[in-house]
Amino acid sequence: MSLKNEEAEVVIKVKRYTQEKGFYWQEYKLKVDRFTQFTEALRRIKSEQDPTLAYRASCHMAVCGSCGMKINGEPKLACKTLVLDVIKKYGSNVITIEPMDYFKPVKDLVVDLDDFYNRMHKVKPRLYPSNEVLEGKAEHRLKPEDQKVLWKFAQCIWCGLCVSACPAVQEDPEFLGPAAHAKGFRFLADPRDTITEERLKILIDSAWRCTYCYMCYNVCPRDIEPVTAIKKTRAFSRLAKDKTEVIKTGEKHTEAVHSSIFDSGKIMGSRVYLSTYGLLGSMKEMIFLMQSGKLKYALVKEKAVENIQEVRKLLRG
Amino acid sequence: MEKLSYDAVIIGAGLAGLMAAHEISKAGYSAAVISKVFPTRSHSAAAEGGIAAYVNGNSDPNDSPDYMAYDTIKGGDYLVDQDAAELLAYKSGEIVELLEKWGALFNRQPDGRIALRYFGGQTYPRTRFVGDKTGMALLHTLYERTSGSGKVDFYFEWFAWELIRDESRVRGVVAFDMRNMIPFFFKAKAVVIAAGGMGMLYRHTTNSYIGTGDGYAMALRARVALKDPEFVQFHPTALYPSDILISEAARGEGAVLKNAKGERFMTRYAPKKLDLAPRDIVSRAIITEIKEGRGFPGGYVGLDISHLGEEYIKERLALAYEAAKTFSGVDATKELIPIRPAHHYYMGGIDVDITGKNPDVIGLFAAGEAACVSVHGANRLGSNSLLETLVFGRETGNEVVKFLQSFTEPSSDIDKEAEKAEQSAYDIVKKESGVHFGDILEKLRDYMWEFVGIYRDENGLKNAVSEILKLREQMKNMYVLDKSKVYNTEFYNALELKNMIDLGLVIASTALNRKESRGAHYRTDYPKRDDQNWLKHTIAYLSGNTVEITYKPVKMTKWKPEERVY
Ligand SMILES: Cc1cc2nc3c(=O)[nH]c(=O)nc-3n(C[C@H](O)[C@H](O)[C@H](O)COP(=O)(O)OP(=O)(O)OC[C@H]3O[C@@H](n4cnc5c(N)ncnc54)[C@H](O)[C@@H]3O)c2cc1C
Ligand code: SF4
Ligand code: SF4
Ligand code: FES
């Protein structure tokens, strides 16, 4: 075994920001090898070239969530991204780095995450076990398969990338955003939790405000699939008391789209979703929010797909 | 200077700090937690393999807390305080069950009970885990719990710079709000230092960028002693070349170390325990293989997990698989993972007893990696550190509560001291030109790695001491280019460097003084353990350029030192 190493000269263009100067671009040249992470590139820029550059980084192994930023326009963790990979992908040695979208800039690549933290705290992100368990009179036994499902959604590292990329967050102040929904679902689905009703009140209305654009799914560095959490949360709709208009409209549209797929096997126009993720797997609950004014993807009936019986079987099952 | 007032101020929002804060606030006292980063970004998040615990009714039937204490003591090469090791072992089950109740998603056995795996130096398997992101899982659980009570005030992205003390007791902390550079005096009756480790002192480390040893240096400047500062742990399996940790869990699950000839070389170094020998032994074995020409070009050996099967690897060693793939371009289900040793953990720390109390200053406490209780002695066993943060974080919190219950207000005014501390921060970087922190920092990291690393000797250590003293002198000409008041990370990096140099000096000096080999402290010129002269804790103070060294006995209860063979 010997590792293949390659080297390259790279020009990193950083979109910088100060309160006084606003945004401006600055270029740094440096040599990187096959193994250089963007956090390491930034660390070297800071200690060898320009100590005034501000950015966040801590673990350099994609578990602390500090280093979210845009690299060549893509929302990424800097530590989880290798410089050489980006050069290859884009066929260019010039790379841009920008702060995450949506959040207020503080300085250079550092953005203000208070809004993000508020969202996370709104969903009461902690288990409320029964008193018997807390007092040691009863014991939790979590099934391995439940542990697996919950752990998937519990792995959010609060990096904020999904929120920075989410169109619904930008348009709808009532929407909690993808990460908070992943977190909220992790506790909603925990069989040991005791405040389900309160959680439903917090989560259900918001869950119907997501546009199912799948940006959060695409950008999440921990493969949390916040949109899947939202989808699964909507399935709890039935249990919600005091349904809001948004919930009712959402449920109605689910029905409508369900029957559209049932007839034709397709939802047209939802290209992002269809092309990326395939139709059949989990179509049943995968419906967009179609509140008036937010109807981003129209339903177009077309010729029925050939294996329509298969689709129907899936929908019934 | 702006002022705030709390019953207790906790420096650090890792597992140790949060646990202490939880206990203090639960008892009704006001607590502030100060952290350089948002709590979940603390270094604890990076811990992978697990947390050791003897859980009643859910452990190997032959195991017992006494075995656990014994393993810990032997692993630590008998420099462990045995009362501390017993406390750690006896409270371990309880603490894991507590975190479980709070929602930590431990991996399960088929019957729903918490699963367990082997870690190095354990007689019976007792490490509990959440995949290989145990630290992240526990830290999030604890942060979410602590932030929910509304009784703890979090000051995150605040930089704690100086302890304020009078003749006998601690009076608070001076810290900067990193967003706008405004200094605050946090007045407090009690202060808990839980500021974590110091990996950035070393060229190669598995630690986070924020591990710069601030807590140790803050203590040293406040005339507080560090205990056993020469004991620095190197982890055998850091990914080449990025130094990202490949958890010991890999070897616990059956991974095998191989040299370039394909030999399972641990048969030579630890015939009984093989790849699961403690870290100091495996680290030295790897370096020896590389030095004697049996490593791969570039200087590394291979870790083989391929025989465990893809599904198992992706469930239990997800991070190891992902890291090898992302950062070294290796598919661990088929190929060897390239690894070499790197700095990992600091056994030394602020001198405290088993309640977290420091003997030098009244009202000062420490917990977690920042403290030396000492449960790790000369070498920490894997998965004992997460346990320590929680067990002793809680003990410390409880002791702070007791302290607060009998607290009487001092009458003397201390505000002047706080102003001096603020000035001392600016003094470090008041120059308009001179040397920049990057130049000094990179040299420091190289000296520490070269001369105060896995193998040490008199010449190297002397060299290190004199070079570090030179860097300390050069620091007087350090300047900061960034003059802005908003998120000026350069300024804080400069303060961190000051902390690192102070600590580096103490480590190198005490390592020079200890003329024996014990655990992670390996002197090629004194390769044997010497209980006659050196079975004692080092106690070190820093005064100007002088490191003042005294000693203190190791607490023994049941276990007599014996030769350490694996
Ligand atoms: C990669 C890796 C994997 C590990 N895996 C394991 C494992 O599997 N099992 C195990 O038992 N141990 C493991 N360890 C060790 C363990 O993770 C740490 O020892 C432990 O998490 C330390 O926790 P702590 O609470 O003491 O400090 P940390 O979690 O390091 O927290 C330190 C806190 O102090 C704050 N701080 C520091 N300086 C300042 C300052 N100047 N001002 C304000 N705040 C400050 C930081 O912001 C942070 O909040 C691992 C370590 C590493 C490096
Ligand atoms: S799928 Fe929903 S939550 Fe995810 S980014 Fe799109 S709108 Fe936001
Ligand atoms: S869900 Fe994913 S992208 Fe969003 S904050 Fe959590 S880890 Fe980051
Ligand atoms: S530095 Fe921790 S996620 Fe990138």
Q: pLDDT (tens digit, 9 = 90+) per residue, B237-252? A: 999 999 999 988 899 8
Bridge-based pairing state of the strands A74-77 and A22-33: unpaired
pLDDT band, very low/low/confident/very high, at B299 (cuts 50, 70, 90): very high
User: Is the bond preceding residue B374 a cis peptide, omega within 30 degrees?
Assistant: yes
Specify the length of chain B in residues: 566
Whether the predicted model's global pTM rises above the 0.90 cut: yes
Buried b (16+ CB within 10 A) or exposed e, B113-150: bbbbbbbbbbebbbbbbbbbbbbbbbbbbbbbbbbeee
* Residues A197, A214 contacting (CB under 8 angstroms): no
Q: Is it the case that residue A280 has pLDDT exceeding 70?
A: no
Q: Is it the case that residue A274 has pLDDT exceeding 70?
A: no
How far apart CA B187 and CA B181 sit, in angstroms, is 18
Interface of A with B in 92-151 (CB under 8 A): 106-108, 110, 113, 117, 121, 124-127, 129, 133-134, 140-144, 147, 150-151
Q: How far is CA A100 from CA A16, A26, A103, A104, in A?
A: 12, 17, 7, 9
Q: Is B279 a catalytic residue?
A: yes
Give tens-digit pLDDT for A92-132: 999 999 999 999 999 999 999 999 999 999 999 999 999 98
Q: Is it the case that residue B396 has pLDDT exceeding 80?
A: yes
Give tens-digit pLDDT for B43-85: 999 998 899 999 999 999 999 999 999 999 999 999 999 999 9
> For the residues B203-209, what does the mean pLDDT come to?
96
How far apart CA B23 and CA B400 sit, in angstroms, is 9
Q: Is it the case that residue A250 has pLDDT exceeding 90?
A: no
Average pLDDT, chain B: 95
> For the residues B277-291, what does the mean pLDDT come to?
93
Q: Between A and B, how many residue pairs show a Cβ–Cβ distance under 8 A?
A: 170
pLDDT band, very low/low/confident/very high, at A287 (cuts 50, 70, 90): very low
Of B171, B279, B445, B518, which one is the catalytic site residue?
Answer: B279
How far apart CA A37 and CA A30 sit, in angstroms, is 13
Give tens-digit pLDDT for A32-43: 998 999 999 999
Give tens-digit pLDDT for B502-535: 999 999 999 999 999 999 999 999 999 999 999 9
Question: If you measure from the C-alpha of residue A226 to the centroid of ligand 3, how many angstroms do you get, rounded to a whole number?
Answer: 8
Give tens-digit pLDDT for B79-124: 999 999 999 999 999 999 999 999 999 999 998 899 998 888 899 9
Which residue did the predictor score with more confidence, A65 or A276?
A65
Q: Is it the case that residue B362 has pLDDT exceeding 60?
A: yes
Q: Is it the case that residue A268 has pLDDT exceeding 90?
A: no
Structure tokens at A16: 């910088």
pLDDT band, very low/low/confident/very high, at A263 (cuts 50, 70, 90): low
Give the pLDDT score at B88: 98
Q: Is it the case that residue B234 has pLDDT exceeding 70?
A: yes
HSE-CB at B478 with a 13 A cutoff on CA atoms is 30
pLDDT band, very low/low/confident/very high, at B36 (cuts 50, 70, 90): very high
Q: Which residue of B has its CA nearest to A19?
A: B486
Q: How far is CA B167 from CA B222, B223, B362, B410, B414, in A?
A: 11, 11, 10, 11, 11
Using the 8-state DSSP alphabet, how is residue B429 labeled? T
Q: Which residue of B has its CA nearest to A118?
A: B147
Give the pLDDT score at A275: 37
Q: Return the axis-axis angle of helices B385-405 and B15-26, rounded to nearest 10°.
A: 30
Q: Which of A63, A71, A113, A219 to mutate to test the pocket of ligand 4 (most atoms within 8 A of CB)?
A: A63
Which residue blocks in A102-177 are alpha helix, DSSP H?
114-122, 131-134, 144-154, 161-165, 167-171
Q: Hey, are the CB atoms on B328 and A3 less than 8 Å from each other?
A: yes
Give the pLDDT score at B566: 80
Furthest CA-CA distance within chain B: 71
List the single best residue of B48, B100, B101, B259 to mutate versus A (max A Cβ within 10 A).
Answer: B101
> For the residues B306-329, what does the mean pLDDT come to?
90
